[in-house]
Structure 1
């Protein structure tokens, strides 16, 4: 029985307690962070250990967006550009050139992830950056223009597929207006529904066929003034599944973020009851994971269908000259292009 949860682990190899716990709970997938990734070889061994333990090609996620969000240190792969730089390319050199750069960036990020054994990347981030909002989004977002965000998000996702990774559209239905960091506090957005639909929701609607999505821990007062999207059946049913039309496998953002309150069991139960297919817990804390597991269970029939559809889209990356790929990307992004 595969459970509707994704867990992190504590270190660079599994402890005896983790082996027993993961074997017993059989999570849908795992997520790795910098603490788990010392070298490429060590990380590949960890991924193999996780898959061998569960006896299947379990999805293993990594946050490898480029820019300031990458769980792979520079001695594993070179530092990759922030998506905001590709958005600048669209504005200064044209959307066609930026789309090519985004597709190549996605393929590079996907191949980086596969190098260490991961097959799901927590990108593209298709939040629409808003002036004056908290910089938790900032240059992680492509642009303030929803059309540019949608076009470049699609290109990045196509590149991730080519690089052998499933993409995750985040943070649905939009994090760009947050005035505080949801890792530390609960953002509230008071924009009217029409403004949200034409701006924040638009890229997610354009990419509603992406196989995986991650919720935003944000209250949208025009939709549900009481609960953040992750815990709101109204946001999930009416907006994410309805207005946006997303029918992919929907996971929460990290349950340990301080935007959420209540016990970890309550957070897991509330997210799943609201309509999330999977819950995500990242920090590897065993006591918290045990509490999360209590609130979880087997995949629902709909979640199992969405999972099967998503995982069927995984493919091996083709043989390629990585140096030439990186050279082409650098030529697109060279300073003279942005002058």
Structure 2
């Protein structure tokens, strides 16, 4: 039997007996870790090993490790990485140096993650920030130039994949115009479809071979009154057709306030019926996990095919001299220190 079309969080730094029993029965496709799950290197290695033991397979384990504000593995056990806009600043001075810096930065992140059993990163961000937008994206983006975003996102993805970590581009089809934080409320983007096609959608179209993408919880009012994550029309007409994306499409967190309603089972069913391949739910609360399992279905058809390709995108890490890479990376980033 195939896995449940879900990525689930956990409550703390160790897998509880109740969680282990649930996971064995539900068999979710993958897991995601947050700061609450992360203490030391040895502890994270134990946790990732226990998760895979619970499902009896080499399941993908995700984390948000962009650098800057969004970095779950932090000091004193892991180095801090720059915000994405810092790579953009290097690229503006010297595109070759910017590309090299982004590659090395994300290659180092991959080395950190694989060492503790994490093999999927919810990065890079491809959003195109616009004037007047909420700061939730801002410096998490590589800049406000499409060519620069595409250039650096390619380098970031290469760094992750050379290190054995599968990337997730986000937030498709674009969160850069949102004037509110989708963690707190539902953004409504009123730009017309043609304007979006010539701007916000372009980075995603140019990187549409990425193995995985995360949805934006936003309304595109010229396309559909429902949030993209819940809109069959938006997912098909924009993401699958206009952007040409045929990889695995995962939702952003179902707990975010942009998606109204407290019935997680119904919400899970709705996003999968809208065309998302996998539902992401991050609270780590066991009742919530059970509700998602109730509303989810088993991976099948194109979704199962996309999931298997995503699993294969965590390549075996290439030979890597970390000391040399860190020295070169630090030298490149000194340009914007």
Contact residue 165 and residue 313 of structure 2 kept, 8 A:
no
The corresponding residue for 2:250 is: 251
* Alpha-carbon displacement from aligned partner over 1:185-228 (angstroms, at most 9, x marks no partner): 0000001112111111000001000000100000010111x211
Aligned residues: 335
Provide the C-alpha distance between the structure 1 equivalents of 2:71 and 2:318, rounded to a whole number of angstroms. 24
Unaligned regions of 5+ residues in structure 2, if any? none
CA contact (8 A) 2:86 2:336 kept: no
1:319, CA displacement in angstroms? 3.2
**8 A Cα contact 2:173 2:216, kept in partner:** yes
- The Cα shift of 1:105 comes to 1.3
Q: Is the 8 A contact 2:187 2:258 kept in 1?
A: yes
Q: Does 1:297 align with 2:297?
A: yes
Q: Which residue of 1 aligns with 2:49?
A: 48
Q: TM-score, normalised by structure 2?
A: 0.97
Mapping for residues 28-67 of structure 1, pairs under 5 Å: 28-67=29-68
Match of 1:11 in 2: 12
Which residue does 2:238 correspond to in 1? 239
The corresponding residue for 2:136 is 136
Name the TM-score, length of structure 1 as normaliser: 0.97
RMSD: 1.1
**Secondary structure of 1:30 counterpart:** strand
Deviation beyond 3 Å, 4+ runs, structure 1? none
Alpha-carbon separation, structure 2, partners of 1:140 and 1:338:
16
Q: 1:20 to 1:338 in 2, by over 3 A?
A: closer
Kindly indicate whether the alpha-carbon contact (under 8 Å) linking 2:45 and 2:117 is maintained by their aligned counterparts in 1: yes
Contact map agreement 1:249 1:310 (CA 8 A) in 2: yes
Alignment of 1:256-335 (within 5 A): 256-262=255-261, 263-334=263-334
Q: Write the mapping of 1:202-217 to structure 2, written as runs, cut at 5 A.
A: 202-217=202-217
Aligned to 1:84: 85
Measured in 2, the distance between the counterparts of 1:247 and 1:326 equals 35
Post-superposition shift, 1:96?
1.8
> Helix, strand or coil for the counterpart of 2:304?
helix
Q: Which segment is superposed worse, 244-253 or 305-314?
A: 305-314
Tell me the secondary structure at the aligned position of residue 9 of structure 1. Answer: coil
Aligned-partner Cα distance in 2 for 1:90–1:220:
31
